[in-house]
Amino acid sequence: MANTINGFSKLSKHDKIKWISNTYFNNNQDVIEIIEQYWNSDQELQKLHDEFIENTITNFYLPFGVAPNFKINEKWYTIPMVIEESSVVAAAAKAAKFWSERGGFKTTILGTEKIGQVHFIYKGHIDLLTQFINTIQHKFYEDTAPITQNMQKRGGGIKNIELRDKTTDIENYYQLHVTFETKDSMGANFINSCLEQIAKTLKNEAMQYSNFSEKEKAIDVIMSILSNYVPNCVVRAEVSCPIEDLKGKDIKDPQLFAEKFVQAVRIAEVEPYRAVTHNKGVMNGVDAVVLATGNDFRAIEAGVHAYASRNGRYSSLSHASIENGQFKFWIDLPLALGTVGGLTSLHPMVKVALTMLQNPSATELMQVIAVAGLAQNFAAVKSLTTTGIQQGHMKMHLMNILNQFKATDAERAKVVAHFEKNVVSHSAVVELLESLRK
């Protein structure tokens, strides 16, 4: 059977599903049922979700969990997290409690600058181009005024437009490197609209610039687009306490713990193989809150990993030190976020998440998300350097295995009780279930 189709987007939702069932499931009715059982009975709500993207056929559930007891700059938060990995929310909640008893998390905004670029080709002398850009600078601001007016009222707008010579990388290649402040919006649409206008102005003004020859007038704009690399839109989150205060249920020897922890972070600083996994632990926390608050996790991921490589080698996002008997653990994260616009006003669960966070500004959300990343990283490195990661992971994963084998409530109770004292492994759970079922 042919598995290509013309005009798929014009089919009704049900017909799209039927086509999928026919093409890939031998016309099996069960698959239609599986797909349609995730439709929401509230038709208006379903329509809202259908229209987020093209060719929606159903919804894809992910758990929306919460991690309470986060003390950040003396304020308490319950952090919403959307994630499928079983141990993440539990680890966040544990780290939150641990640090709430040791002074809480502290955060600082280091910058809020966003970047966009107009990439273009100019065949002429750089001095003449510089003179031209200086002459028309004011036109860029005037022509974008209808777009920037509202943003300016909120204290944002275009902060700087700089000509950059990139001809050592590509012949005749230049950029207008534009800096923006977008306040509480992530600003992608705002930035891209401004850039496209700036590109138009650049081309039009070049055509009329009498000092340019015909060749110089023919500026060729290649593209105009924001950058998801935001090394000056950065938040710092940190925790610190006297080493002896680290003592707790799982930390019997705080000095040894602190030293091993710092050593583990140093390894992630110098060893890219470890750094990637270390940072993945950070992103477990970051992405979960980014998703729950309706932000663009692909943009965040791309920007964060570029930042982790900014010194030429991929390295740890977090750092730790011991100084004068004080343990300190901190992270700097580039986070371009919004708390207005985009999905934030459309998705009902995003509204719930933002309300739960007490309607944060974008900078406050940066702080909360950096804390979620640091907490997650702390929990992972703490486990790795003490009990090992599998103990906690497999405890949480136990539920997935029980679900996979459709365990009854009675079986669940027995299995969970057994693994309070025994090491969880997939085969051990299956074996126990089988023996209970005999």
Stretch that binds ligand MEV, among 9-17, 250-258, 274-282, 285-293 (CB under 6 A): 274-282
User: With binding defined as CB under 6 A, does residue 83 bind ligand MEV?
Assistant: no
Residue 393 bears catalytic tag:
yes
Q: Which residue has the tokens 């023996």?
A: 435
User: With binding defined as CB under 6 A, does residue 85 bind ligand MEV?
Assistant: yes
Handedness of CA 267, 270, 276, 280 (dihedral sign): positive
Q: Provide the Cα torsion 185, 190, 191, 194; round to 10°.
A: -150
How many chain residues interact with ligand MEV (CB under 6 A)? Answer: 10
**x-or-dash string of contact with ligand MEV, 232-271, rule CB under 6 A:** ----------------------------------------
| Burial 103-126, CB ≥16 within 10 A → b, else e | ebbbbebeebbbbbbbbbebebee
Which CB sits closer to ligand MEV, 347 or 382?
382
Of the residues 305, 319, 351, 393, which is catalytic?
Answer: 393
Nearest to 129 by CA among 204, 220, 211: 211
Question: Do residues 174 and 164 lie in contact, with contact meaning Cβ atoms separated by under 8 Å?
Answer: yes
Question: Do residues 217 and 209 lie in contact, with contact meaning Cβ atoms separated by under 8 Å?
Answer: yes
Q: Which residue has the tokens 């510089």?
A: 130
Structure tokens at 295: 């932000």
Stretch that binds ligand MEV, among 118-126, 166-174, 276-284, 332-340 (CB under 6 A): 276-284
Q: What's the distance, Cα to Cα, between the start and end of the chain in Å? A: 45
Which CB sits closer to ligand MEV, 235 or 268?
268
**x-or-dash string of contact with ligand MEV, 162-181, rule CB under 6 A:** --------------------
Binds ligand MEV (CB under 6 A): choice among 94, 278, 347, 397: 278
Of the residues 184, 196, 287, 296, which is catalytic?
Answer: 296
Kind of pairing, strands 326-334 and 318-323? antiparallel
User: With binding defined as CB under 6 A, does residue 67 bind ligand MEV?
Assistant: no
Question: Do residues 92 and 223 lie in contact, with contact meaning Cβ atoms separated by under 8 Å?
Answer: no
Residue 296 bears catalytic tag:
yes
SS3 411: helix
Question: Do residues 118 and 183 lie in contact, with contact meaning Cβ atoms separated by under 8 Å?
Answer: no
Which CB sits closer to ligand MEV, 191 or 380?
380
Question: Do residues 138 and 258 lie in contact, with contact meaning Cβ atoms separated by under 8 Å?
Answer: no
Q: Residues 282 to 321: which contact ligand MEV by CB under 6 A? A: 284
**Element holding 283 (H helix, E strand):** helix 272-292
Of the residues 280, 328, 351, 395, which is catalytic?
Answer: 280
User: With binding defined as CB under 6 A, does residue 391 bind ligand MEV?
Assistant: no
Residue 280 bears catalytic tag:
yes
Which CB sits closer to ligand MEV, 57 or 389?
389
Which CB sits closer to ligand MEV, 260 or 412?
260
Stretch that binds ligand MEV, among 45-53, 273-281, 333-341, 364-372 (CB under 6 A): 273-281
Stretch that binds ligand MEV, among 35-43, 128-136, 230-238, 275-283 (CB under 6 A): 275-283
Distance in Å, CB of 91 to ligand MEV, minimum: 9
User: With binding defined as CB under 6 A, does residue 281 bind ligand MEV?
Assistant: yes
Q: Angle CA(232)–CA(104)–CA(282) in degrees, nearest 5?
A: 50
Q: Residues 368 to 387: which contact ligand MEV by CB under 6 A? A: 380-381, 384
User: With binding defined as CB under 6 A, does residue 280 bind ligand MEV?
Assistant: yes
Structure tokens at 360: 């944060």
Distance in Å, CB of 277 to ligand MEV, minimum: 4
Nearest to 334 by CA among 286, 293, 288: 286
Mention every residue, 6+ apart, whose C-beta is less than 8 A from residue 77.
Answer: 70, 71, 357, 358, 368
Q: So which residues are the catalytic ones?
A: 85, 280, 296, 393
Residues that bind ligand MEV (CB under 6 A): 85, 277-278, 280-281, 284, 380-381, 384, 389
